[in-house]
A and B are shown apart, each in its own frame.
Chain A
Amino acid sequence: MIDAGGGVLHAVADTYLEGCAEARADGFGQLIDLTAVDYLTYGAPRNLPAAVEAERFEVVTQLINHSTRERIRIRTQVNADEPVLPTLFDLWPGAENLEREVYDMFGIEFTDHPDMSRVLMPEEWVGHPLRKDYAIGSIPVQFKAASDER
């Protein structure tokens, strides 16, 4: 991982899990937040270190060290063609529902996750609403039909 200063670290899919495990060993004992950003239509320069190649998705993981009262934010570039990252469940079980939300909203899959399913949208929903190419408004609402075998 590349330290950009100010508590921000940059990672790619390959260094993500290892970097998080190291941070945990260094005393960052609690996962405080995990979310993603879709940079598809971002109009400004991305402001990434030279060694990091900008990708469409960025998974933002925030960790906290209670003894030194420090926080770090790990920004991980995720490829749009293959939006896959390893799960953090084994390090912090609290990642379970946060990763499910990212999967639900952005379609980023977390491998080896115990329950990679939608959490806020209905199970049979198509599309990932927080992606920038997911239009707002004028979408026909998907209604569930009651199955006959009840």
Chain B
Amino acid sequence: MTVTENNEAIDGAERVRRRGDDSAVLRLSEADAAMIGADPDAADDERVLLNMGPSHPSTHGVLRLMLEMEGETILRSKPVVGYLHTGMEKQAEQLTFLQGCTNVTRMDYASPLFTELAFSLATEKLLGIEVPERAVWIRMLMCELNRMSSHLLFMATNGMDLGAVSMMIYGWREREEVLRFFEKVTGLRMNHNYIRPGGVAADLPDGWQADVERLLELISPRLEEYDILMTGQPIWRERLQGVGVLNADEALALSATGPILRSTGYAWDLRRDEPYLAYPEVDFDVIVGSYGDSFDRYAIRLNEIRESMRIVEQILDRMPTGDYRVQDKKVTPPPRVRIDQSMEALIHHFKIFTEGFKVPEGEAYAAVESPRGELGIYMVSDGSATPYRMHVRGPSYINLQTMPHLMQGGLIADGVAIISSVDPIMGEVDR
């Protein structure tokens, strides 16, 4: 479907509502798929079922696609997921609220701080505590830096998938600079367990401003280089423009969020529309596209890095002083020095880390705008120290539903560009 046809469609979402053979989604079980391939008398011009993945260089982890092909054209497709499923939602029911962050941080491994944040916000909603202002701003700083590193990773993999191999090296290089700062603050490059219910694990180290300033100075001109290398380049545009088009009605109907929804021209960003942390106090623009194609999704992410840098600059100027975690004895362990002086402090510390803290019964949902869209945690507590149920609304899992619709009628070579532009993180898809 071309861009003009798309804009003229009356019920914009009719295409994604189809149930039958004309749907873009291939609804075929594994057993039936095996039967199709087994027929030795199949005619030469028949539709071919092609398997792509789960271990394919362009599928970003272990995504497997079942593609129904006619020649080079994709008719229907089915993303087959679950290869990384490790039952993290079940696992969360065994871990205390304090240990929960170590679990959830491993889901979306490209933007771990967002899952930690959503988990902490949901827990804090149930606890009814408010974190100190400095903790809020530290969280915001770390999340925006994480959005940069996640989008830089996208720049790298998107470039690699389309044959811009130098971009891969550049993207990883810049991302590594951000991760180096994370390592300094949290002790780890990934899976930080830094944002915790009640605040953050530790205050920012001395000299963090200089590090962040250096980072901003370094990355800003490099983004200009990306523009020269890719944005204006004819081959790059040829590969992405008009490939994998979705309109706003379709994106909304498919529950898509994040850059995929915004690429259709629909401005919806939780940071602006349902503000959390201190986002109302900083200036930034919500980047939207206009054609809903792969190029728009690329351009949105590139410009979101710039917006994140704008937010980080404002945080640098306005970081408040104060405590980095709530001084509520119920959820916060005593300071390290007190443990040497007081038996009670030692017991208190021991209790919090072995038994955890009890969370009042109830249910809560907290959502944040992750680099991939709305990341939400639905938490049910029965008054004990472990969640009764924890559900993650993973943006990658839900955005993956748009993939068959983006691919329908396209070439298989464009399929690679589409997978890349959806930017799924399989750890969070399969959980």
Contact = CB atoms under 8 A, between A and B. Distances in A.
Interface of A: 29-33, 35, 37-38, 42-45, 47, 60, 62, 66, 69, 71, 73, 89-90, 92-98, 101, 105, 114-115, 117-123, 129-130, 136, 147, 149
Contacts of A32: 255, 257, 367, 374, 376, 393
Interface of B: 13, 16-17, 19, 23, 25, 27, 29-31, 34, 38, 81-82, 85, 87, 89-90, 94, 252-257, 268, 273-274, 361-363, 365, 367, 374, 376, 378, 380, 382-384, 388-389, 391, 393, 397-398, 400-401, 430-431
Contact of A92 (B87, B255, B382): B255
A149 B38 CA distance: 8
Given A32-B393, A44-B382, A96 B401 contact: yes
17 contacts: A31-B255, A33-B376, A35-B393, A37-B380, A60-B363, A60-B391, A93-B253, A96-B25, A114-B19, A115-B25, A115-B27, A119-B81, A119-B82, A120-B82, A120-B85, A123-B31, A136-B90
Majority secondary structure, B binding face: mixed
Contacts of A66: 252, 268, 273
Nearest to B23: A114
Contact of B398 (A43, A97, A105, A129): A97
B388 A42 contact: yes
Nearest to A69: B273
A48 B244 CA distance: 45
Nearest to B266: A66
Given A33-B376, A90-B17, A120-B81, A44 B361 contact: yes
A149 to B, nearest CB: 6
A66 B262 CA distance: 13
B361 A47 contact: yes
Contacts of A118: 82
B391 A35 contact: yes
A44 to B, nearest CB: 4
Nearest to B89: A130
Contact of B252 (A29, A35, A37): A29
B398 to A, nearest CB: 7
A77 B122 CA distance: 23
Contact of A30 (B29, B252, B274, B376): B252
A75 B312 CA distance: 39
A37 B376 contact: no
B152 to A, nearest CB: 28
B14 to A, nearest CB: 10
B365 A122 contact: no
Nearest to B268: A66
B417 to A, nearest CB: 23
Contacts of A45: 361
